[in-house]
Amino acid sequence: MEIKEIKKIAVLAGSLRNESLNRKMAMELSRLAPDTMDLEIIEIGDLPLYNEDLDEDPPREWTKFRNRIHGVDGIIFVTPEYNRSVPAVLKNAVDVGSRPYGKNVWSNKPAAVISVSPGATGGFGANHHLRQMLVCVNSPVMAQPEMYIGGAGNLFDVEGKLTDSKLEDLLHKFFRSYGRWLAKFVE
């Protein structure tokens, strides 16, 4: 029997709200992940805003964040949609990780994007805007399955557990696809 190495996957949730649907989804992803993936939610809310003037002596939060992303095999982004884009906190995390020039921690990290929204379009705009940003920082983004999760206000029970078995099946399909995507980039 072949023993598969466990891949370390960072999960970044783009919403800071305590009852965030995106945080609930991130937690459920951790629960549903296959045993070949070790998912860890990495907090981004404490990252000071990116300012190039601080690159020579970066805030410790930046250094800690960059080191954590550097140490993972891949990244799953879970984002809401704010004004047809991603929340500022998620854009800031992308910026912090991509700098200083030549030290981009996102480069060659296989990524996947899941947008979660109470609205009908499932965060379509944010999903595609984030994909565009990730291309710019050289993070290859999985194309399929596209994950736009709408109506998310009705998908979780009071403990934050998914109540929709069809969505749970889709997330298992997502993980199978993401596992194949990771294999293309990570030994």
Distance CA 151, CA 166 (A): 13
183 has a pLDDT exceeding 80: yes
Q: What is the pLDDT of residues 12-60, one digit of tens each?
A: 999 999 889 999 999 999 999 999 999 999 999 999 999 999 999 999 9
Tell me, yes or no, whether 34 lies in a domain.
yes
pLDDT at 138: 97
| pLDDT tier, 152 (very low <50, low <70, confident <90, very high otherwise) | very high
List the CATH number of the domain containing 29.
3.40.50.360
Tell me, yes or no, whether 81 lies in a domain.
yes
30, 23, 27, 24: which is closest to 9 by C-alpha?
A: 30
Tell me, yes or no, whether 185 lies in a domain.
no
pLDDT at 187: 78
Tell me, yes or no, whether 186 lies in a domain.
no
102 has a pLDDT exceeding 90: yes
Count the domains in the chain.
1
Output the pTM of the full model: 0.95
pLDDT at 121: 87
Question: b/e string for 69-81 if b means 16 or more Cβ within 10 A?
Answer: beebbbbbbbbbb
Which range marks the domain in which residue 152 is found?
7-178
Average pLDDT of the chain?
95
pLDDT at 29: 98
Cα atoms in the 13 Å half-sphere on the side-chain side of 157: 6
Tell me, yes or no, whether 184 lies in a domain.
no
pLDDT at 2: 56
| pLDDT tier, 3 (very low <50, low <70, confident <90, very high otherwise) | low
Spatial neighbors of 43 by CB under 8 A, at least 6 apart, are none
